Structure 1
Amino acid sequence: MNPVLRVLKNSTALSLTVLLERAVAFFLPWYIARVQGSEVYGGYATAMTFVVIASGFAYWGLDQLLPREIARDRKRSGTFLASAGVLGGATSILTALAVSMIVHFLHYPPQVQNLIYLGIVCVLLPRTEAILCEAAINGLEKMEWIAAVRFP
């Protein structure tokens, strides 16, 4: 494929994905604050804070390493992704357990604790695997697949 067309295709796919992701990130908190009220929004904000802090530890730098390794040796991309998935899954589970213990000892109200646990299970663990798949796609330079990974 022509390099100019490849760059155009990849950058367009990435831009559309980022726009969709940002739209959801804007409207969801707005909806919660507006419709559900400030108390529910406070619980949501607390839960998301824990999830965002934990997400940096969950994939353990594999999002930087995986594209480089796949770009060097495309034939072994499946092996790299599987290995990163196992390691990322293990670090995600360890991070989830650590956050769960921290939340338990901080004595948040049960509703907030449940939101944090729900965020860990529904956001942190799948997001780690999605980030690793996205890193593999970056290594393969197939950016049009990223939307499918970010929004399963």
Structure 2
Amino acid sequence: MRILDSNLWVFAFTGTNRRAANFVEDAISCETEIVLDAYVVNEVLEAFERSTLLQGPETSEAMSHFLKLVRATSCIIQDFSEAERYEYDLELERQQEYNKLLGQILDIQAKDAPILLLASKYYNESPTVYTNDKDFADLTPGEYGLPNIELEYVPDSDEEVSVPEL
């Protein structure tokens, strides 16, 4: 089971990172599962809006394509309801004391704590969190009694690739 951080989703849907696009394509073909929750979905949408890789209508088109693909792909597990997605407040979640505390204990940014919590929810399925945040990827969950969770660094890429399609 895979969990992708928001930047990897953006890279996949802007065609700027082969590995990120391959992760999504593997889920489309059901070679693997990707799980995401309301936090990740809203973080992806926010990342599309601030991305310099897209201009004007390209942004809304990429967001729409992302949401359609997530809804239509059986091996992309949506651990949220539509109501949760619309009502979700990223800033409020990032400011929650448990995320701040988890960030301090694990020496990660509080914004990354919800991603790790999602991985812990799927602990028995040995999830791997893929991120292009080197500091977050340096975390070794096994040192904190979570040997089934792995993090893997995926470097940025300027290689153009095809955007995943259904």
Does the TM-score normalized on the shorter chain lie above 0.5? Answer: no
In proportion to residue count, which structure has more strand?
A: 2
Which TM-score bucket, shorter chain as reference? Answer: under 0.3
Normalising by the residue count of structure 2, what TM-score does the alignment of the two structures yield?
0.25
In proportion to residue count, which structure has more helix?
A: 1
Normalising by the residue count of structure 1, what TM-score does the alignment of the two structures yield?
0.27
